[in-house]
A and B are shown apart, each in its own frame.
Chain A
Amino acid sequence: MTRLEAIEKIFSSITDEAVITSIGMTSREAYQFDRSRNFYLMSAMGSELALGIGLAYTRPDLNVVVISGDSSALMGLSTYALYEKLALKNLRVYVLCNYCNATTGGQPNCADTFLFMTLGNERIVTIEISPEKGNAPRIPMTPEEITRRFENAIRKQDEQVKCG
């Protein structure tokens, strides 16, 4: 399965969830399924799950999905300890495993250990993907545009304002 196919499969199960994607090709390919409730990380590698925890914890009315590459997950590994401890019902995480840093040229990582650690854990969904980089272009939105659109899309119904 390619990364794009995996992301497409995840999005096919998504309705009104807020989705946060990790840096690199994961975000770029998720942009192919763009919607206002998507938040694309294009910097701060490894902070996607923490971002999701902050959102899900303070907004129990909202379901949050984090889609992370395996290298990003490894960079923010300690956050998985907090994720396990909190066991938030409105947060779930998918980790796409290609065992390398595909965006930067395929340098190997240590995701095999990650997979071993999360074996049998139903709260962390790992999906094995092929190691090709893919060819999705850079996301044309600025980070600030991503923030403002996302904030507005997830605003509680009674506080919703018209955007732009």
Chain B
Amino acid sequence: MFIIGVPYSNCEYTSVLPCTSEPEAVAIACGAKLGGSECLVFMQDCGLLSALNTFIGLSDTYKIKLNVTIKFVETPEHHKKTCEMARIVYDTFRSNRKDIQ
């Protein structure tokens, strides 16, 4: 399994490559999958928001199937709005896609 993503606090995964952003991690995973490798992409909740366009425009549109795991982290008050939005996106995604855990 080709594991790639952007780390968060107490992250249980190690990325094969040092990604610079979540959209990049998704695109790299798509490239690996095109080449025949199974992939796991990991990121935290707010990363999902920034990666949204790549998830939809690349993985979804081009039917490149990825395994994805999103970590919902404990967030300080000032960060709440972002996380609420991430939860909405996550729930919408999950109802459409079985590959998001």
Contacts and interface: CB of A to CB of B under 8 A. Distances in A.
Interface of A: 20, 39, 41-48, 50-59, 62, 76, 78-79, 81-82, 85-86, 143-144, 146-148, 150-151, 154-156, 159
B27 interface: yes
A53 B27 CA distance: 9
Q: Identify the 5 closest CB pairs spanning chains A and B, nearest first.
A: A54-B31, A50-B27, A43-B57, A44-B57, A47-B27
A143 B63 contact: yes
A86 B17 contact: yes
B64 A44 contact: no
Interface of B: 2, 4, 16-21, 23-37, 53-54, 56-58, 61-64
A154 B27 CA distance: 18
A43 B36 contact: no
A53 B35 contact: no
A86 B4 CA distance: 15
A49 to B, nearest CB: 8
A155 B28 contact: no
Given A44-B53, A82-B20, A143-B63, A54 B27 contact: yes
A26 B21 CA distance: 24
20 contacts: A39-B34, A41-B58, A43-B57, A44-B57, A47-B57, A50-B27, A54-B4, A54-B34, A58-B2, A58-B31, A58-B36, A81-B20, A82-B17, A82-B24, A143-B61, A144-B62, A144-B63, A147-B63, A147-B64, A151-B34
